[in-house]
Amino acid sequence: MWFWALVLPRFGGPGRAGDSLLKLIPDDAGSPFDTAAVIDELFDKESVLPFMNDFGKSLITCFARLGGYSVGIVASASMHLGGVLENDSSDKGARFVQICDAFGIPLVFLQDVPGFLVGSRVERAGIIRHGARLLYAVSNATVPKFTIVVRKAYGAGYFVLCGRGYEPDYIAIWPGGEIALMGAEGAVNILYGNKFKGMSPEAALKLRTELEDTYRDEVSAERAAALFGVDELLDPRDTPVVLFRMIELTRNKSVPRPERKHGIFPV
């Protein structure tokens, strides 16, 4: 990508992001980071326009420019509830995706999502129904769609935020990213919980560490690139250049649809 990093700025495209971008992302998948600061690094300076910023705060939706092109950004906000999807954030995301699709604005999804919020409160409020709205909007969007797995993409959250099954035009993962059903700690508890019974604390800790490390190797960015249909293991600093190139390539995207008046929105 070094060629485009040198050439595109001459033609009004973005340059390579700075090394400061790498400092914004913690190595620990459970540590929050400032998603808004990452967006500022990736897109044109002072071009970000938030959408419904005080509602459904675990998901950031905003407009921005990239090399002068307008884009809509849907990003997990790990500093609020760890970026988990809940009722309000799902509704906000669905509305934003439909607005972008209606006005022909390409969509960029930045994933650091642990999945959907669980519990009796959100179940009573209809979390499945709200999540289905976001899923419906993403699956029906015909504008160019680009997905970047920034750090983690677990469970249904990966698919709802335009995972491979929902036809992104380009999907990449940053080094250290993971695509899996759940995190290593939860998976080990479910799969191997009985093995720890009767073991000394030291032996149990050693076995748990080994199992978690093995699990992380199985869901690593390299494995995701091989098994999950990821297009590229992407250097974060090259992301603006690559996204700009993808927008250029998909400007005339056309998606054939069955002849019908409209689909049926989930209720």
SS3 of 8-35: HHHHCCCCCCCCHHHHCCCCCCCCCCCH
What residues contact residue 26 under an 8 Å CB cut-off, 6+ apart? 32, 33
Q: What is the per-residue pLDDT across 33-56, written as a single tens digit (0 to 9) for each?
A: 999 999 999 999 999 999 999 999
pLDDT above 60: residue 6: no
pLDDT for the residue numbered 27:
76
* Beta strand 145-154 pairing with 178-180: parallel
Q: How far apart are the first and last CA of the chain?
A: 44
127-140 and 87-102 helices, crossing angle to 10° = 20
Cα torsion 19, 15, 144, 165: sign = negative
Q: What is the per-residue pLDDT across 192-208, written as a single tens digit (0 to 9) for each?
A: 777 777 777 787 787 77
pLDDT above 80: residue 160: yes
Percent of the chain with pLDDT over 90: 45
pLDDT for the residue numbered 8:
52
pLDDT above 50: residue 3: no
* Beta strand 145-154 pairing with 107-113: parallel
**SS3 at position 36:** helix
Q: What is the per-residue pLDDT across 46-87, written as a single tens digit (0 to 9) for each?
A: 999 999 999 999 999 999 999 999 999 999 999 998 889 999
pLDDT above 50: residue 108: yes
**SS3 at position 92:** helix
Query: Across the strands, what pairs with 63?
Result: 49, 72
Cα–Cα distance, 13 to 244 (Å, whole number)? 7
Q: What is the per-residue pLDDT across 114-137, written as a single tens digit (0 to 9) for each?
A: 888 888 888 888 888 898 999 999
**SS3 at position 173:** strand
pLDDT for the residue numbered 2:
44
User: Looking at per-residue confidence, does 85 or 265 come out higher?
Assistant: 85
pLDDT for the residue numbered 12:
58
Would you say 169 and 250 are in contact if contact means Cβ atoms under 8 Å apart?
yes
Instruction: Calculate mean pLDDT across residues 165-189.
Output: 83
